[in-house]
Amino acid sequence: MSKSLKDIAKFLELECEKDLEITKLLALKEADANTLSFFHDAKYLNDLKETKAGAVILEEKFLEHLPEGVVALVTDEPYKKMALATSLFTYTPSVETHEPKLLENAQIANSVNCGKNVTIGKNSKVMAGCFLGDSVTIGENCIIYPNVTIYHECKIGNNTIIHSGTVIGSDGFGFVSKDSSNTKFYQIGNVVIQDNVEIGANCTIDRATLGSTIIKSNAKLDNLIQVGHNCQIGEYSIVVSQVGLSGSTMVGQGVVIGGQCGTAGHLKIGDRAMLAARTGVTKDLEGGKVYGGFPATDIKLWRKMQVALLRLAKGK
């Protein structure tokens, strides 16, 4: 997809001094010369200063931090304007089905439905009732169990197993709420699942708002897990049933997340951290430690808290 920056600016009702061909919308950090990006949170000021974007939507007061040559679209509401811009780049779903490309010994059940340009790798099996959207690719030696849905543009690596009912690439939850309105921030990224991953039944792994939600090699996910837009789950990490990861949670390598844990968004869990069941994570967690409770704390301290409360209640 490709649009002129002038046309985009016109649609957004913003001034635009120079035209450009825009092919992608991405975060400041991932942007290149044909990308329109946006800046709406002072936390990412360094990303603004170093962006390679072609154009950026931002407030006037941050103009001074914009690298030379980057075109500015100035507004008081950069987040809302970017949301509107995503509507120009969003995918239009189609009810048509097409023949997928089956590589050597790949097999699909008759009832599988595919969009355009789907490729299924060597020795992989896609079972009954699955849906694979436009441009989905499945690697080698995968098993996709019945009734899995994989939305357009998502990529599945090699030796990966996905259990029934799981949905990969549904829209991330993004709305700009203001004055009793909920403007949709169209979710124009995708999901990338690497190699040797196993994902349980009835999970939901949302596509990225911009860019990719990534499940790295050898990660193992249990059932009924929610992975929000733009999350990353590191190599060899284990996520137990009913965990919910809010948008942009960054899970390190070799992390173990117990059942029914939850995380607030935009935080990091360090390598080899272990979270007891039902831990509620509200800020970054250092790697190599064991956590419990809500808000998450050192597990020993959390156990002390339980004991102290019990004593208090018993009047001892």
As a residue count, the chain comes to 316
Q: Residue 14 or 267: which CB sits closer to its own copies? A: 267
Question: Which part of the chain contacts its own copies (CB under 8 A), choosing from 7-15, 19-27, 57-65, 298-306?
Answer: 298-306
Interatomic CA distance for residues 100 and 117, integer angstroms:
6
Contacts of 315 (CB under 8 A, 6+ apart): none
Judged by CB under 8 A, does residue 80 bind its own copies?
no
Give the H/E segment covering residue 108: strand 107-108
Judged by CB under 8 A, does residue 123 bind its own copies?
no
Q: Residue 65 or 184: which CB sits closer to its own copies? A: 184
Judged by CB under 8 A, does residue 2 bind its own copies?
no
Using only C-alpha atoms, what is the Rg of the chain?
22
Interatomic CA distance for residues 291 and 10, integer angstroms:
50
Question: Which part of the chain contacts its own copies (CB under 8 A), choosing from 19-27, 38-46, 68-76, 293-301?
Answer: 293-301
Contacts of 42 (CB under 8 A, 6+ apart): none
Q: Show contacts with its own copies in window 172-211 (CB under 8 A).
A: 173, 175, 177, 180-182, 184, 198, 200-204, 206
Q: Residue 96 or 284: which CB sits closer to its own copies? A: 96
Contacts of 40 (CB under 8 A, 6+ apart): 58, 78, 79, 82
Positions marked active-site? 229
Q: Residue 48 or 255: which CB sits closer to its own copies? A: 255
Q: Which of 81, 163, 216, 268 binds its own copies (CB under 8 A)?
A: 163
Q: Show contacts with its own copies in window 133-162 (CB under 8 A).
A: 133, 143, 145-147, 149, 151, 161
Residue 50: HSE in the Cβ half-sphere, 13 Å Cα cutoff: 6
Interatomic CA distance for residues 12 and 106, integer angstroms:
46
Q: Show contacts with its own copies in window 220-249 (CB under 8 A).
A: 220, 222-224, 226, 228, 236, 238, 240-242, 244, 246
